Amino acid sequence: MLAYKDRSKEELLELKSQLEQEFQKVKAQGLQLDMSRGKPSAAQLDLAMGMMDVLTSESDLKCEEGVDCRNYGVLDGIREAKQLLADMTEVPKDNIVIFGNSSLNIMYDTIARSMTHGVMGSTPWAKLDKVKFLCPVPGYDRHFAITEHFGIEMINVPMTMDGPDMDIVEKLVSEDDAIKGIWCVPKYSNPQGITYSDETVHRFAKLKPAAKDFRIYWDNAYGIHHLYEDKQDYLIEILMECKKEGNPDMVYKFCSTSKVSFPGSGVAAIAASDANLVAIRKQMQIQTIGHDKLNQLRHARFYKDIHGMVEHMKLHADILRPKFETVLTILERELEGLEIGSWLRPRGGYFISFDAMDGCAKAIVAKASEAGLVMTPAGATFPYGKDPKDSNIRIAPSYPTPEELAKACEIFVLSVKLVSIDKILESKS
């Protein structure tokens, strides 16, 4: 297919009027479609319904410690849940602390604690003139929202196919002691689905930060969320790697079962060095007498062990894979060769990241919404909601049905084509 930029003005105008007619036809259908939310579909949630039956009024509700899970006790997670989440995130059981239902909540608490009380005895960030965070972009909007909320200055670091640009990360963290952290989604990243390479993880573990309270915020949200059994990404385990490099305290690792069992009703945990966990538990015992142990027990008994969880994730993949394939097939069929957009083919996670021609993302999202398709707002994948190139759009294929998804993609590619033609015509005039 001839790239749009190589077509004449007349050809483009003719194509535009054809596409505009197609667009008006879909618009007239009055559709209401949504590719904005990284939520599992109802069919995926159904997979874990058995969890509702593992605890009944007849069940023995004592956990391995012998504590009655209906009552107070066991601050940092029951042993069987710790084992399950430790295996899920590939760390020793003793390096994990279970919290409530949300890993994002733990991340927020971790930043809040650093602001008010500092990190393992260092000056509370709130008392410093300036606190900065590195933000690999495109990235997860809710990470950026937390740091923005606390007035932390965010610095964009471009993503490469191997993870964040480590030349930039190494330089900045070694020079500036106001940089206290970096947000990372190291496996099947949100939104690109990129997994950090071995070299990237090694370079992270070897960082020499100017700030001794610098921490890597390693959000392993998609650690076991593969789409294919035969094509899986592999990520080096960062906690062990940091320990080997003599930097045991430099990383906090976060995980949850939100997209394994039930988002909002799962179990979340932090994994870190012994020294970090001492500081975390110290605050935790003020904050709560304990989290929901019945939910922890329910998860441990339902999955039994990590093998049960891995099998469960294959069922998720069976539902998600065709949806990803639908989107990718339509993008390839409709856009390949036109040079008006590029995208990646992830092997796991929840998103497909689309890069439009510079200056087109906002207009594409607006155009799609005219025909009833809701996309993640353009810019959301960048700190402060500002994509300097106005190019990145996050596609979330998990929630719609396959039929809805095909329709939604049709609207999306039409919007991409129409906005790109206008952009090219503008440059030709």
Q: Which residues bind ligand PMP (CB under 6 A)?
A: 38, 102-104, 140, 185, 190, 219, 221, 256, 258, 263, 268
| Closest approach of ligand PMP to the CB of residue 195, in Å | 13
Nearer to ligand PMP among residue 192 and residue 420 (C-beta): 192
Residue 254 contacts residue 264 (beta carbons within 8 Å): no
d(CA 120, CA 106): 17
Nearer to ligand PMP among residue 268 and residue 380 (C-beta): 268
* Residue 66 amino acid letter: G
Please state whether beta strands 392-395 and 132-137 pair in parallel, antiparallel, or not at all (unpaired): unpaired
Residue 124: CB atoms within 10 A of its CB come to 15
| Closest approach of ligand PMP to the CB of residue 264, in Å | 7
| Closest approach of ligand PMP to the CB of residue 103, in Å | 3
| Closest approach of ligand PMP to the CB of residue 183, in Å | 9
Nearer to ligand PMP among residue 90 and residue 410 (C-beta): 90
| Closest approach of ligand PMP to the CB of residue 175, in Å | 28
| Closest approach of ligand PMP to the CB of residue 218, in Å | 11
Nearer to ligand PMP among residue 185 and residue 414 (C-beta): 185
| Closest approach of ligand PMP to the CB of residue 222, in Å | 7
Nearer to ligand PMP among residue 221 and residue 416 (C-beta): 221
Provide the Cα torsion 252, 256, 260, 264; round to 10°. Answer: -150
Nearer to ligand PMP among residue 200 and residue 376 (C-beta): 376
Nearer to ligand PMP among residue 185 and residue 277 (C-beta): 185
